[in-house]
Amino acid sequence: MSDEWNAREERDLRDERPKPLTTRLTYEPFKPLSCSITVELGARSHPGRRAVNEDHYLLIRMARQQETIATSLPDGEIPARFEESGFGMVVADGIGAGGAGEVASRLAISTLEHLVLHFARWNVRIDPRTAEDVIDRADRFYRSIDERVSETARQRPPLTGMGTTLTAAYIADDALFLAHVGHSRAYLFRHDRLTQLTRDQTLAQRILETGRPVPSEAAAHDLRHILTDAIGGHAGVPNIQIEQYRLQDGDTVMVCTNGLSDIVDEQSSAAIVREKRSVDEKCQALMNLALERGAFDNVTVALAQYNVVK
């Protein structure tokens, strides 16, 4: 009787134990827009007919990633690799005699890159809070760059008065952020049309906006090339333009110095950007067109082709 009772009790206890799962749990793939976009970047630069190229540019991809090194979980339970990215383009056009302009544009971009490495939060998923953070940091970075360029010029007399334009584009998620000082430009190509997004900070633009007559001392100059704002230089604290735009699948962002925009009209640029070829080839074609049209100034252009992977 005792043996029979013990056997029954053992069987009952065994029946009450948790049963192993016979089917695997399934999870929806986590694929935010930040890991569903592709951005093809390209750039070209040429001194034109000048002896020194005072333009500089930088293209970067910033990524957050996770890679599974080892796990006891079944295959497919978690992703082997996850990555999401943001993309940046920066163009600078230096100002200053005796090569000082080249130093200014190089120093500005280098300083920006080191500020990003030290203090950026790698925001690649954009919501209102992160957008505010990106804009705030862009403003602080630009002010720090202006201080660095100005202080370097004060410490080194051969560089006195050096300055630079600085136009930066940051693409993350479906957001485009632009930070801009000077007369380099950013454009958006969408639906077969090229639209200027930045506003030139030149005496010509200020006169156009205010309707004031041209000052007599400036009348003999090309007012498109007299900057009212610059990083460093003699213009004082710059007015930093920072804007946010929403991108669409198939958009192209173009950032260039005035060496291109002064001599290649928007219709001609759009005709090249819409062509079905790589962004590197398009950049080369844009630069070649500027040179064919007799570009005297340095010519720099960068393109970012934005696509969403379905």
pLDDT per position in the chain (310 positions), as tens?
Answer: 556 656 665 655 555 656 555 555 666 777 889 989 999 999 999 999 999 999 999 999 999 999 999 999 988 888 889 999 999 999 999 999 999 999 999 999 999 999 999 998 889 999 999 999 999 999 999 999 999 999 999 999 999 999 999 999 999 999 999 999 999 999 999 999 999 999 999 988 888 777 665 554 444 446 778 899 999 998 889 999 999 999 999 999 999 999 999 999 999 999 999 999 999 999 999 999 999 999 999 999 999 999 999 8
Task: Give the count of beta carbons closer than 10 Å to the beta carbon of residue 66.
Answer: 11
Indicate the pairing of strand 163-164 with strand 81-95. Answer: antiparallel
Cα–Cα–Cα angle for 99, 55, 180, nearest 5°? 120
The DSSP secondary-structure symbol of 202 reads B
- The CATH-assigned architecture of domain 52-65+78-308 is 4-Layer Sandwich (3.60)
| Residue-wise burial string across 263-288, b where 16 or more C-beta atoms lie within 10 A, e elsewhere | bbebeebbebbeeeeebeebbbbbbe
pLDDT at position 205: 85
* Virtual torsion, Cα 242, 244, 245, 247, nearest 10 deg: 110
pLDDT at position 220: 40
Cα(10)–Cα(182) distance, rounded to whole angstroms? 84
pLDDT at position 77: 86
Instruction: Give backbone dihedrals phi and psi of 137, rounded to 5 degrees, phi first.
Output: -70, -35
* Residue among 111, 109, 139 at smallest CA distance from 45: 109
What are the residue ranges spanned by the domains of the chain? 52-65+78-308
pLDDT at position 221: 47
Residue whose tokens read 């202006």: 146
pTM summary value: 0.87
pLDDT at position 47: 97
Residue type, 302: A
